[in-house]
Structures are given as C-alpha cells and as structure tokens.
Homo-oligomer: A and B are copies of this chain.
Amino acid sequence: VNELGQQQSALKLALVKWIVTFLVGFLTGMVALFIDFVVKKLTKLKFDTVEDSILQCSEDGCLVVPLLYLLLFNVGFVIVASCLVVIEPIAGGSGIPEIKCYLNGVKVPRVGRLLTLVSKSVGVLFSVAGGLFVGKEGPMIHSGAIIGAGVPQFQSIAFKKVNLKKYSFFRTDRDKRDFVSGGAAAGVAAAFGAPIGGVLFSLEEGCSFWNQSLTWRTFFCSMAATYTLNFFLSGIDSESWGYFYLPGLINFGVFKCTNELRIDCRLWDITDLAIFVVMGFLGGLMGALFNTINTAITKHRMKHLNKKHKLFRILEAALVAAVTTSVTFGASMALGECSEIPTNFVNGTSSSIEDTVRTYFCPDGYYNDMATLFFNSQEEAIKQLFHQPGTDGFSLRTLGLFTLFFFFLACWTYGTNVPSGLFVPCLLCGAAYGRFVARLLVLLGYGNQAIHSGTFALVGAAAFLGGVVRMTISLTVILIESTNEISYGLPLMLVLMVAKWSGDLFNEGLYDIHIKLRGVPLLEWEVPTGMERLKAEDIMERKLHFLYPRTRVTSIVQILRTTAHNAFPIVSIIEDRHQQVVNSSNMDEEEPHSPTEQNIPKNVPLRMDGLILRSQLVTLLKKGAMHEEHHTRTSQFNLSYEEMTEDYPRYPDIYDVTKSQNLNQSKLVDVVPYMNPCPYTVYPTTPVPQVFNLFRSMGLRHLPVVSHEGQHTERGRMGDNRSVRLSV
C-alpha cells in the first residue's frame, strides 16, 4: 500500500463517516417527526370526539358519555403500547438508563435492535396519545441511539459484498459507541430543539475522553436532526417550504414581557434570584420524594408483578390509564375554576395560547383552568403555564391540586409496562409548582412590581426535573435552548445546582436508581467512596484463568464454557531464568494442556504476553484456525482482520460453535497473531483511583494487573469487571 493510496482511503473513510453521521441525524429527525405527527393526530381525534360530546352535554348525568369515550380511547391506546413492550421488554421505560449504561461501556442485551426501535417508537405514540403522564423525549433519545447503532452497521451489511475491506472500520465497539453517542445527542436535539444540549448530554452521560473531532461530529449529527425536524415541521405548519422556525418537539415559546420598555418589565431580577434558590431547594426535596416513592413502587413491581403472567403487566398499564383518565376527567369537571380570557395578549404567542384554553362549563369570555391543563397535550399545558399572561390565569387551588395529582400519578406511571419518558411530565408538574409559588408570592404581597409568572413556572419546572434526574450542565443548556432565552442561564443554573444538592442529600437521580435496581455495574465519574485507599490487588479478580500462546482446543472450549470472562491473558512460563526473551519459536515445547492455575505449581514465574478476547477465541474455533500438535505453527493459516470481525457485533456463542462443528479436540490453536500484545496494565500496588481513571478515560473493559517484576505474582482482570458480568 503506497502513501497516496493510504491518504485517499483515509479521506474516503472520513467522508463515509460524515455521511453516516448525517444519516443518523436525518433519520433521528424523521423518527421524531413521525412520532410528533402521529401523536398529534391521535390526540386531536380523541379530544375532538370527547369535546363534541361534552359540548353537547347539558344535563349533569350525560357527562358519563364523554368519560366513557375518553376511557375507551385511553385504555385502548395504552393496551396497544403495553403489548408492544411485552413483545420487546427493553422498549419499556424511558430508555435513558439503558443508553447511559451503553455509553458507559456496559453492553445491554437487545438495546440496539431494530425491533426495539419499532416497539419503542410506535409504543410511545400510543402511551402518549393514551393520556398517560409520560413524555416522548426519553424514547426519542433511545430511538436516536438505536439509529446511531444501526445505520453504520446497515451500511456495512448492505455493502458487504461490494466492498468489504473498506468499511470494516466500523466494526469495533468504539466506533459503534461513537455513533450511538451521536444518535443519542441527535435524539435530545430533535426532542428539545437543543443541538448544543444534545452534545452535552452525550458527554455528561457517556463519554469520558473528550475528543475534538468526535464532539464536532456529534454536534453535526445533532444539528442535522434539529434542522431536519425543523424543516419539515415548519413546512407542514406554513405550507411553504424552505423555512426554519419550529425547532424541536417541545417548543417553550418566546418569553416576553408584557411591557415593551425594558426597565419596568423584566423576566427576573436579583431579588427573584433569592426566591429561585429556595424554589430549587424545595424542588430537590420534591424530586427526592418522587424518587423514593418510585423506587418503592418499582421494587414492588419487580417482586410481585414481574413473576406473574405477562398479562398482568398489561393489566397494570390499563389500570394506570383508567385511573389517570378518571382523575383527569373528574378534576376538570368538578374542581376547575373559571378565569377570564385575557384580551391584552402579547402578539406572537397569543394565538396558540388562546387556542388551547378550554371553556367547559364556563360563561363566555371565561375558561376552565383545570381543564385547560388536563385537556391538552402536556406540551400545550406547559406553554399555558409559561405564557398565560398575568398572575391570575390559574387559581391557587387549581395549581396546588394539579401539582399533587400529577406528582403521584406520574410517579406511579414511570416504570409501568409502556415506553415512558420522564422529562415532560416532570417539567409540567414543576411548572405548576412554580406558578403556584408565583401566585402565592403575589398573595403575600411580593408582587408590588409585576412579577413574571412564566419565569417562575420555568424555574419550578427546572427545579423539579433537576430534583428527579440530577443532571447538571446538559439540562441547563437544554432548557436554555428550549426557551431560546439566554438570559435565563443564571437562574436555571442556580436552581439546578441547588436542586441537585438538596436531592443528593436523600438519594440518587432516578435514572441511576433504575440502573442500580437492575444490577448494572455502572462506573460513576468519581471513585466510589470507600475505595480511595484500596489498591489494584484488593479489587482484582484473583482466580486467574489464562491461556498459553499455543493452547489445545479442548482447553479453550473448557475455559470458555466454565467462565464468563470476556478476555483472557496469554502467559508463558519462564523456564530458563537466564534466557530473558523467550522468542516464539521455542514455545512449542510448552505444556498445552488444561491451562488453569491448578495445574501449574505456585511460584512458577509467568510472563504476560498479551490479552485475547472471548470473541476472538470463538471466531478462531469457528473458522478452524488450528494445527496438529506435531506440526509447526506455520501450518496454521492466518485469518485476516475482516475474517476475524465478520460476525461483529453478534459473535456466536461457544455452545453454538461446539454444537454445529465437530472440533478436533486435540489440535492446537496459536493465538499469538491475534492477541493484543500491549494492553494497558497496572501494578498490584497501583491505587484504585488511578486504576479507575485509566479504566474510565480509556474506555477499558479489561485491565491486567502485572507485578513490578513483570513475571511473578498474580495477573488478573479488574474487579470492576463490568463487561464480564453483563455483555452477551
């Protein structure tokens, strides 16, 4: 291969990478568009039917008819969503815990499959349209991640026969992880119209090594998703194409003062800031309570519900839908108060706010405040709370009751057997809480100056969401971008900071709780407390399973069957102390049987030659890359990189191989050409924080511990053997 050819193929690869990145963003945007479009259609159908029957209703008793309609729609939709999740269980929930695990390096089974994408994206349509207190943003992010995992592979599958060699570079876990992180960022970007927030989300939740070009590519992916969605949404909305004015699925609308002069009217000032801090503290407490209750419910579910027949899970989802519907309906009809429809709307946001008020049972010129919140999509309800002008748009009682109902129902809902995001429900609940505080402050006389209730609603939303999920910089940026108002930076940052702090006094973020409940060994940002003073030898896997450079097939099969490790050190016995470099030709004398530690005497000096992966061993066996005992190693044919990675990412199991093939158990396999001869290593006395940093920063999954003398004591795999336990 000459220099020029190398440069050209590098350029080609770079180009393919960018094209694939664009495709990931584009498709994520299209999926978001699809979800948004269908949810809107379904919701409109539902509410139109129900509204007609409410408006036709004049007597008290006839309200049963719309309620029945609503129940029928909602329970029906939710059952569809729930069935999809029963088919593909990983599609349940928000998907963010799974993505977090994946980006952290833990393989979660089936998380990136096409079936998961379909179940999730179709399921979330129905769970949202079914009136559950769930969001579509988490599932959107998960969908983006699946697209990121799938597109590069689809490309490599489609072009397999054409041009195998050139595209094989997408066949490592690291490449795949890069695309998944781009897809997740694109999901955030599409959901919130927040491309920068998307990048930061990926970084905060997953990456550990900041790489300029990867980040730039992730940003490009986010932008592609945002503006794909923007282009189509704007085009559909205005029926004139080529414009971009509707970013993201959630659009918080423009925060404006009612007064054009900037001094008299302000979104917030320095005294408000002090109140925001207190609101953040309370929001953190509310979030901690939410997490505690949800943890208890989830544990209960895992203990009792998951053991029973799948039908029970669908029934629970239907029950949640029925209760939610009844509460929604009952509260709107019985507890709503009538507020005057303001006439002095600010231009711009006016139309959408005016359009979505609900006037049930109120005189002309008035609207039913509870129904306005419950009989709209959650996004519209949030906009109502943010932009309904004046402080008296919603009564104190309505806001308080709404917050309470929503809090407990959302808490029950998260973790049910449907695809269910957490962001929007938390934002809505928090917005009601924030608006409640604003109303209260006015009653207490704080509002001499006209305070901007919308700002309080936004701050409340941030406080509660921050208290539940405990994200920091990415959430701040997502909220800044969704509001398109950079001056909210300081209040949002302060509130999220305080909410995280006060929530952390009691428990972890909800995503982390769910990750722990599933028993996934996630590596946090910092060394777990209590481990700072330990050394590598304290946490390493002491039971050493290793292979020799040339190992008998029977031993390989045995070690693959009896252990769950994903990587094995290759060691040689140093027989002659004066012969330092054991070159490969005289390895043929080695004992190739049963390479477990029982068979070799203690204190025999060993030297680590390298590390080989389970997938590589299985592939070698499958391909029959082995030779007769008395032949030299040159008689074994060498497999190319393409042949070795042909099955990526779904390598066969050792049982599949032994079942389908009749392996000659007495042959030898020479692993030297395939092993990684220079893995990162640490000493037994290396402190755990240093080991941890290496593991985290370099994205390792296995880390051999080699003694100072290089050949003497234990070698082992990290005790943090996350992949060992989980990967498939």
Q: At the interface, yes or no: A253 with Cβ under 8 Å from chain B?
A: no
In angstroms, Cα B223 to Cα A210, docked, is 22
CB within 8 Å for A677 and B681 given contacts A244-B487, A581-B709: no
Q: What distance in Å separates the Cβ of A239 from its nearest Cβ neighbour in chain B?
A: 10
CB closest chain-B residue, reference A530: B3
Across the interface, do A607 and B708 meet the contact criterion of CB distance under 8 Å? yes
In angstroms, Cα B694 to Cα A269, docked, is 47
In angstroms, Cα B346 to Cα A260, docked, is 13
Chain B residues with CB under 8 Å of A195's CB are 489
In angstroms, Cα B347 to Cα A203, docked, is 40
Q: At the interface, yes or no: A584 with Cβ under 8 Å from chain B?
A: no
Q: At the interface, yes or no: A662 with Cβ under 8 Å from chain B?
A: no
In angstroms, Cα B489 to Cα A525, docked, is 30
Q: At the interface, yes or no: A295 with Cβ under 8 Å from chain B?
A: no
Across the interface, do A580 and B526 meet the contact criterion of CB distance under 8 Å? no
Q: At the interface, yes or no: A608 with Cβ under 8 Å from chain B?
A: yes
In angstroms, Cα B708 to Cα A497, docked, is 48
Copies in the complex: 2
Chain B residues with CB under 8 Å of A486's CB are 193, 247, 481, 484
Chain B residues with CB under 8 Å of A240's CB are 263
Across the interface, do B690 and A678 meet the contact criterion of CB distance under 8 Å? yes
Q: At the interface, yes or no: A167 with Cβ under 8 Å from chain B?
A: no
Interface centre among A231, A241, A525 (most CB of B within 10 A): A525
A493 partner, pick from B220, B238, B244, B609, beta carbons under 8 A: B220
In angstroms, Cα B260 to Cα A347, docked, is 9
In angstroms, Cα B574 to Cα A332, docked, is 84
Chain A 243-272: CB-based contact to B (< 8 A → 1; otherwise 0): 111010000000000001011001011110
Across the interface, do A210 and B210 meet the contact criterion of CB distance under 8 Å? yes
Across the interface, do B698 and A490 meet the contact criterion of CB distance under 8 Å? no
Q: What distance in Å separates the Cβ of A679 from its nearest Cβ neighbour in chain B?
A: 9
CB closest chain-B residue, reference A481: B486
Chain A 695-724: CB-based contact to B (< 8 A → 1; otherwise 0): 001100000001111111000000000000
**Contacting residues of chain A (364-394) with chain B, CB-CB under 8 angstroms:** none
In angstroms, Cα B216 to Cα A476, docked, is 10
CB within 8 Å for A245 and B223 given contacts A690-B678, A710-B710: no
A489 partner, pick from B223, B480, B493, B694, beta carbons under 8 A: B223
Chain B residues with CB under 8 Å of A686's CB are 678
Q: At the interface, yes or no: A683 with Cβ under 8 Å from chain B?
A: yes
A476 partner, pick from B193, B219, B245, B608, beta carbons under 8 A: B219
Q: At the interface, yes or no: A458 with Cβ under 8 Å from chain B?
A: no
Q: At the interface, yes or no: A673 with Cβ under 8 Å from chain B?
A: no
